[in-house]
């Protein structure tokens, strides 16, 4: 059996470092907003090439706190990708603003810069490009459009720790980047965690206050804030894992290369992810497309290969967003992707032999699937 992601082996590979981090926190007697969070913020900001990092409770709150700090709320619109994990949309909804979906370029899976301007209205305040599956979004054209229209840019970096765009790490291309340290991410805690990186000192200071009951000085509350703090234990564990991020991402890139070579030219129906010329992906996920995706997943499961779908239902078709009134067929590119995407196993502890076994299983499964009519495969 080849697991989709072996979190147990990933973390056990660092057992001694993680136990030492736990001992340090236990021995310190200090569990919230102390030395470990401060050091992690310093180290992660440096890793991202950003001026500041603010640790928060999770990735969703990293985004909603930034939007709130920018004063975005009811009556405002925020442009989001039509295909993303639902957190990107919910962060907008949580501040009372309206998510305005823009379709992706199916070749990159990322928001299509050429479609953004048509979605801008007098109410638009910000754009949230998502570096989906670890591949950096096309930040240069996105930032150009945002500047021309006076919009803020918040990047959703939850899937792209360590990735770079045009020679520069993700971390401060836009006005702020929101990160998640959910256990399955490239930099994952042993529980929930999140952060914001930015070059904007005033934003960082506002976030430090917002995450902690609107307080910058103990028991003095300047505004109605939240409780959204990265805790000391998770920060200490993340400090132990941060030095292995680049090696883990290099291993992921090698697996992706092996998949691309091993599956190239196999079948016109199997669409492999495109490699960006001007960016280094974090290869959080290796996502293929196939018109008979569910059957392909089933055949892989029968061959002992784990796979997952990111994601099975488009955000606008979720019951949670029925009130937006976006019917089936209204965002056809996103809908076609949601019907066809399948994520193959990838992770820092996956071996070449395991990767080859996945390749063999995919080759066998694809060959066994019925060729389908052109209409069924058309987006
Ligand atoms: C994981 C993820 C998030 C949310 O992170 P949490 O820490 O689980 O709140 C946001 N956006 C994307 C694209 C994600 O993959």
Looking at the domain assignment, is residue 2 inside a domain?
A: no
User: 255 and 238: one domain?
Assistant: no
User: 21 and 155: one domain?
Assistant: yes
Task: Locate 148 and state its tokens.
Answer: 């021309």
Contacts of 167 (CB under 8 A, 6+ apart): none
Ligand 1 atom having least distance to the Cα of 159: 15
The whole-model pTM stands at 0.96
User: 231 and 329: one domain?
Assistant: no
Ligand 1 atom having least distance to the Cα of 185: 1
Q: Which of 243, 270, 298 is the last residue of a domain?
A: 243
| Burial group, residue 374, by CB count within 10 angstroms (0-12, 13-18, 19+) | exposed
Ligand 1 atom having least distance to the Cα of 91: 10
User: 16 and 117: one domain?
Assistant: yes
User: How many angstroms separate the CA atoms of 83 and 337, rounded?
Assistant: 8
Does 374 score more than 70 pLDDT? no
pLDDT of residue 377: 41
Ligand 1 contacts CB of residue 228 (under 6 A): no
153 DSSP β-pair partners: 127
Ligand 1 contacts CB of residue 361 (under 6 A): no
Q: Which of 212, 243, 274 is the last residue of a domain?
A: 243
Determine the distance separating the centroid of ligand 1 and the alpha carbon of 86, expressed in angstroms: 8
Ligand 1, atom 5: closest residue by C-alpha? 59
Does 379 score more than 80 pLDDT? no
Looking at the domain assignment, is residue 324 inside a domain?
A: yes
Ligand 1 contacts CB of residue 130 (under 6 A): yes
* Matching residue, tokens 């670890």: 134
Structural domain total, the chain: 2
Ligand 1 contacts CB of residue 182 (under 6 A): yes
User: 154 and 260: one domain?
Assistant: no
CATH classification at residue 230: 3.40.640.10
Average pLDDT for 275-295: 97
Average pLDDT for 15-30: 98
Looking at the domain assignment, is residue 378 inside a domain?
A: no
The rounded Cα 344 to chain-centroid distance in angstroms is: 17
pLDDT of residue 371: 61
Determine the length of the chain.
379
Ligand 1, atom 4: closest residue by C-alpha? 59
Ligand 1 contacts CB of residue 180 (under 6 A): yes
For a ligand 1 pocket test, name from 63, 85, 284 the mutation site with the most ligand atoms within 8 angstroms of its C-beta.
85
> How confident is residue 267, by pLDDT bands cut at 50, 70 and 90?
confident
User: 68 and 98: one domain?
Assistant: yes
For a ligand 1 pocket test, name from 5, 55, 56, 59 the mutation site with the most ligand atoms within 8 angstroms of its C-beta.
59
User: 56 and 189: one domain?
Assistant: yes
Ligand 1, atom 1: closest residue by C-alpha? 158
> How confident is residue 375, by pLDDT bands cut at 50, 70 and 90?
very low
pLDDT tens digits along 240-258: 999 999 999 999 999 999 9
Ligand 1 atom having least distance to the Cα of 130: 13
Ligand 1 atom having least distance to the Cα of 131: 13
Ligand 1 contacts CB of residue 48 (under 6 A): no
For a ligand 1 pocket test, name from 57, 60, 64 the mutation site with the most ligand atoms within 8 angstroms of its C-beta.
60
Ligand 1 contacts CB of residue 194 (under 6 A): yes
* Matching residue, tokens 């310190």: 28
> How confident is residue 332, by pLDDT bands cut at 50, 70 and 90?
very high
Ligand 1 contacts CB of residue 87 (under 6 A): yes
pLDDT of residue 376: 44
pLDDT of residue 180: 98
User: 214 and 347: one domain?
Assistant: no
Q: Which of 243, 269, 297 is the last residue of a domain?
A: 243
Ligand 1, atom 10: closest residue by C-alpha? 87
Average pLDDT for 138-151: 98
Looking at the domain assignment, is residue 379 inside a domain?
A: no
pLDDT tens digits along 45-95: 999 999 999 999 999 999 999 999 999 999 999 999 999 999 999 999 999
For a ligand 1 pocket test, name from 62, 83, 87 the mutation site with the most ligand atoms within 8 angstroms of its C-beta.
87
Determine the distance separating the centroid of ligand 1 and the alpha carbon of 208, expressed in angstroms: 20
Full residue range of the structural domain in which residue 269 is found: 245-368
Average pLDDT for 344-358: 98
Looking at the domain assignment, is residue 1 inside a domain?
A: no
Looking at the domain assignment, is residue 199 inside a domain?
A: yes
Average pLDDT for 311-318: 98
Higher pLDDT, 72 or 369: 72
What is the overall mean pLDDT for the chain?
96
Q: Of all residues in the chain, what percent carry a pLDDT higher than 90?
A: 96
Task: Locate 181 and state its tokens.
Answer: 């340290």
User: 115 and 237: one domain?
Assistant: yes
User: 80 and 196: one domain?
Assistant: yes
Determine the distance separating the centroid of ligand 1 and the alpha carbon of 107, expressed in angstroms: 22
pLDDT tens digits along 187-234: 999 999 999 999 999 999 999 999 999 999 999 999 999 999 999 999
User: 161 and 36: one domain?
Assistant: yes
User: 197 and 279: one domain?
Assistant: no
């Amino acid at each position: 059996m080849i697991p989709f992601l072996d979190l147990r082996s990933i973390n056990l590979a660092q057992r001694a470092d993680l136990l030492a981090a736990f001992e340090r926190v236990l021995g310190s007697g200090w569990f919230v907003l102390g030395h470990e969070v401060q050091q992690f913020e310093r180290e992660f900001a440096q890793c991202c090439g950003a001026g500041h990092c603010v640790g928060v409770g999770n990735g969703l709150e990293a985004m909603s706190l930034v939007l709130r700090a920018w004063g975005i709320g009811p009556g405002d619109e925020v442009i989001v990708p039509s295909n993303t994990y639902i957190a990107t949309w919910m962060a907008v909804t949580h501040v009372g603003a309206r998510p305005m979906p823009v379709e992706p370029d199916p070749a990159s899976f990322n928001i299509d810069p050429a479609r953004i301007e048509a979605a801008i209205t007098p109410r638009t305040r910000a754009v949230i490009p998502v570096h989906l599956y670890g591949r950096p979004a096309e930040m240069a054209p996105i930032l150009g459009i945002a500047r021309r229209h006076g919009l803020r840019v918040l990047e959703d970096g939850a899937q792209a720790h360590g990735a770079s765009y045009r020679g520069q790490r993700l971390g401060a291309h836009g006005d702020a980047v929101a990160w998640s340290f959910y256990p399955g991410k490239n930099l994952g805690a042993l529980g929930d965690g999140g952060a914001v990186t930015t070059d904007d000192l005033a934003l960082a200071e506002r976030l430090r206050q917002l995450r902690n009951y609107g307080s910058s000085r103990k028991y003095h509350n300047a505004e109605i804030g939240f409780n959204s703090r990265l805790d000391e234990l998770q920060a200490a564990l993340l400090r132990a894992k941060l030095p292995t991020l680049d090696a883990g991402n290099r291993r992921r890139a090698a697996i992706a290369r092996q998949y691309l070579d091993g599956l190239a030219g196999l079948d016109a129906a199997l669409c492999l992810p495109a490699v960006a010329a001007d960016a280094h992906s974090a290869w959080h996920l290796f996502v293929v497309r196939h018109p008979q995706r569910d059957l392909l997943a089933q055949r892989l499961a029968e061959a002992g290969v784990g796979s997952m779908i990111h994601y099975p239902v488009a955000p606008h078709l979720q019951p949670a967003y029925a009130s937006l009134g976006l019917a089936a067929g209204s965002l056809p590119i996103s809908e076609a992707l949601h019907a066809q995407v399948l994520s193959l196993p990838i992770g820092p502890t996956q071996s070449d032999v395991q990767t080859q076994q996945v390749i063999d299983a995919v080759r066998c499964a694809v060959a066994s699937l019925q060729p389908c009519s052109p209409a069924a495969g058309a987006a």
